[in-house]
Chain A
């Protein structure tokens, strides 16, 4: 609380990003956890809530005649533009938010105050929903060749690894410890995924400390053990996900990559995925494109290309596809690493797992996958997503890229995933929201020390409870796309990778399709289910009635009025929509009602309700727009009326759009 200099500012304007003339007048509140903007319009009092932990940057812009503009950019890609009448107030809000957005202690984060009113048991059940030892069992582990090792039970070998690590049976504790000393941050090779059908596996580690010539017997034995655990193959792939140049540069620092001559029977392979700094800059560039006011098609495509974002996405996909192919088609085990083995390695292992195993394409399986490859193996959520104030150079959209890879796959395989786009968007939101404890800290060790499970709630339980919202209507468990390995097109189909406006322009609803096929089909399916039930009831009644009649037994059956209304709920014809600014020329016309804040359309909005239910954008399906018939209450965007009498007499002065 001591950080809030200014709990409330009145007469603040919230600008619409797409149209500068649409602005809402209201009051701004700062609380310990949220920034809240409440519109003045009395009947709606529309609210916009932003969690402090979502704020990625705050920019105070030059004061103008109308006030002092404040630009808030969020990690879930929301951009909020406020104009505060008094420069002094603006400064206070700015200073407060700077501090609030950068907490220094975990205890300041929202998950420690968030209370969904569950009792202790429910909370515990929630945390148990995703159980990794159960998951390794599902894969078929332990078995003759693989076992759980307790060598890291006190985080004694590797503090960023989980306590339960799965390794080849033939890898003794001596080998593991020896190998760990030869690997960056002691992240020794451990099992990520085991492919039951042919015993091939995906293992992961960090880079070896090979320098220019160093060797380590135990590390060589470790890789040998991995190969032997797959009797069907006489070699393993070692995939270094870095560009070759980066890996070579690491040798000078005593790190590097495996020398094929030193390890028996490995095939070494570079896959050039760029490092976190390149990715951070790439996202930055792409978001600049998304933020452009009214970009031309060329501006947009050129900017998208220039950002390199889709190229990076494709590189990650290609790596995942390579590994999935090696495992499923060649039956060869793969060891994956990058530098520390917690960013690119996590991306690539999870993409490959997703391609190989249909279970990970279900709602539950996807949670398990993130828990396995990201949470348990020490992906540094706190550093990468800037939950606590830290080094900005550590921040990078690593898991965002993985989530986008999944979306790209969903576009190519529309029937293969049990979940829909909304599921991905909500997970992304909560990785940054810090509303649930799942993604706190940088490792399992830190989370245990912080007693996350006792003090916070699990996101997975929350998503599971609401899973009906996250289902893909096209998914059928018996469909061919939901079984076995997915085989995406490798190059040269670059055009398969598309810009994901549902994520990066998520809050500009006006840019998205106005009718959702997913929601429509879900409603149809729901109705179908009701019909099935009714059919059964009717069938029974009919049979009874016929029996009675044939027995000449007249029993008066009660006439039940079952004529249920079977309207489709998703046939949302009130999907009102309003014109955009189709012509800058119309602007030159005097505006009919310049000050009138248009309530309809596009932007945000996190209302209080859906925040409480913690679902970041349930407003997505209930567009707040008024009907199109409603002409009087607003001037159409870009609007304004015809020129007044005198201005019309002007000479030939038609305006021209450049």
Chain B
């Protein structure tokens, strides 16, 4: 398909761009296959706006006489308005944007066309491989093995080709367990707590059904993660009620009679459209320009967004507490094990493992616990807060995870190597990107699409030193401790950096951030100077003495 066919009016002069808190800009609007480009007519500021079509969540058009207005609402929550003279031009442009922003073929997406303008120092596609994780694990314990049972994605279509499982469980048993778990997602290792050797596993729900089916291999597998005489916790991310109802559909939960060494705890993390609706309501509240304080608070409350944050964080803290404080191993699952399960396992690791609070470690966590673990990004992030599509599979699961990380970062501002900007960047790229990293729903799809060969990895770009610098937290000081966030309502805040980003003036806050940077920078500069002077002095003084000794 030629994009040119979809673009009847590739260019409109004398268009006007309106954004909140900026003066209107007059300029030229251009459409390409993947971008909407607006360049200011005034040559002195040379301002250009590049918007990926895939970032556009919804578009509205209005006419006053022959002056058309397009309102573009983006997945990153920004809203812009374009005035375009000429009814026909405006209609053409609007319909082109509509088509180009909703292409349904993945291979037509920008990552397949994007050619990087930078030199690739390290290919992000091979920067985080499971083999390397296993090597690290193997250096501290020999109780685990790397299984290639899923090489062809035949045992579990949403798992990566290799997974880490208890050494004592062979592939034959794994195959049986996979039959007993929803979507074939048998329990695999998610995290090994070096301090006490406790582990966190994740899976999907067991398929017990109404008649209480059991699977000896499944019991054996998860018991294999326990130390002799020790007990473990199963954290089911669904309420008991929901879990019980799942039995009618063939799902279910581990029954205590068959898993006597495990204690089950039910948490209630919402899924799918409940989350999507929460996001829609929250963004609506943030964009509400009414003058009433009460209305803001009640709308914030009614969105339930912070309630979801609190529930997810609480479940993650509980998992971490079981591992670190109770000295017990943990198995986490919900229904499919691709959403709330991953929120809990990845957040628990941020709490427990200082490594996950570095940039590199966090990237590895996202790759391991989200991409390889089969979180269906393509489905979940297809639309954002402004879309009317209401598809069941759309849900801001990953955004909630990032928000939870931000909440912890806010409570421990010196314990993370990365800044809020890093999290915002990941949010943007999960929804629309020139990179192939977040395309596809699992490793299986990614390999069929040949993403590593045909697209660029986000990590190849981010991990360049000059890019990384933008995402560094100047306050970072390595903190080797477990960090326990507070989940009290007073401690949880709206993530302004994402939700109010486009509707509040940020000048003063940006200035404050610059101030922080310059304080730290100046300090480091002086340190370097002092060190070099000391060195110089020491050298001169030894020279001195040597000459004296001659």
A: residues with CB less than 8 A from B are 18, 290, 294-302, 304-305, 308, 310-311, 314, 412-416, 473-474, 476, 479-481, 489, 491-499, 501, 505, 508, 510-515, 517, 520-521, 524-525, 527-528, 531-532, 534-535, 538-539, 541-542, 545-546, 549, 554, 556-557, 559, 562-563, 566, 568, 571, 573, 575-580, 582-583, 585-586, 627-629, 631, 636, 638-639, 641-643, 648-657
Contacts and interface: CB of A to CB of B under 8 A. Distances in A.
A580 B321 CA distance: 9
Contact of A656 (B240, B520, B540): B240
A582 B344 CA distance: 13
A528 B522 contact: yes
Contacts of A542: 533, 536-537, 540
A652 B256 contact: yes
A571 B519 contact: no
B477 interface: yes
B160 to A, nearest CB: 30
Given A521-B516, A563-B534, A582-B317, A573 B481 contact: yes
Interface string B370-408: 000000000000000000000000000000000000000
A648 B494 contact: no
B491 A528 contact: no
Contacts of A513: 410-413
Given A298-B307, A514-B411, A549-B544, 18 more contacts: A297-B304, A301-B489, A413-B508, A474-B515, A489-B505, A491-B291, A495-B300, A499-B490, A512-B486, A515-B413, A517-B475, A524-B520, A538-B534, A545-B541, A579-B484, A580-B488, A582-B318, A642-B326
Given A489-B504, A556-B544, A301 B300 contact: yes
B489 to A, nearest CB: 3
8 contacts: A296-B310, A495-B296, A501-B490, A515-B415, A538-B533, A559-B541, A580-B484, A639-B325
B475 A495 contact: no
Contact of A415 (B321, B508, B541): B508
B534 A636 contact: no
B256 A556 contact: no
B326 A639 contact: yes
Contacts of B486: 510-512, 580
A585 B265 contact: yes
Contacts of A578: 484
> Lowest 7 A-B CB distances belong to which pairs?
A300-B489, A414-B512, A656-B240, A305-B297, A301-B301, A654-B264, A636-B325
Nearest to B291: A491
Contacts of B240: 654-656
Interface in B501-526: 503-505, 508-509, 511-512, 515-516, 519-520, 522-523, 526
Given A299-B489, A517-B475, A657 B321 contact: no
Contacts of B307: 296-298
Contacts of A508: 488, 490
Given A545-B540, A636-B326, A571 B504 contact: no
Interface of B: 231, 236, 239-241, 253, 255-257, 260-261, 263-268, 286, 288-298, 300-301, 304, 306-307, 309-310, 314-315, 317-318, 320-321, 324-326, 328, 410-415, 475, 477, 479-484, 486-494, 496, 500, 503-505, 508-509, 511-512, 515-516, 519-520, 522-523, 526-527, 529-530, 533-534, 536-537, 540-541, 543-545, 547-548
Contacts, number: 268
Contacts of B533: 535, 538-539, 542
Most buried by A among B263, B266, B412: B263
A650 B526 contact: no
B519 A525 contact: yes
Contact of A501 (B265, B324, B491, B505): B491
Contacts of A476: 515
Contacts of A479: 511, 515
Contact of A531 (B530, B536, B541, B544): B530
B286 A557 contact: no
A631 B325 contact: yes
B290 to A, nearest CB: 6
Given A515-B413, A521-B516, A636-B321, A534 B530 contact: yes
Contacts of A501: 490-491
A474 B516 contact: yes
Given A474-B516, A651-B256, A583 B265 contact: yes
A628 B195 CA distance: 12
Contacts of B289: 492
Nearest to B317: A582
A261 B523 CA distance: 63
B326 to A, nearest CB: 7
A514 B481 CA distance: 12
B489 A554 contact: no
Nearest to A648: B260
B317 A497 contact: no
Given A538-B534, A554-B547, A585-B265, A531 B527 contact: yes
Contacts of B297: 301, 304-305, 310
Contact of B317 (A298, A310, A496, A579): A579
Contacts of B537: 538, 541-542, 545
Nearest to A513: B411
B487 A580 contact: yes
Contacts of B483: 514, 577
A622 B153 CA distance: 53
Most buried by B among A305, A497, A579: A579
Nearest to B305: A297
A252 to B, nearest CB: 30
A496 B508 CA distance: 13
A577 B547 contact: no
A294 B491 CA distance: 12
A577 B291 CA distance: 40
B491 A641 contact: no
A521 B475 CA distance: 8
B412 A557 contact: no
Contact of B491 (A299, A301, A310, A512): A512
A305 B293 CA distance: 8
A579 B325 contact: yes
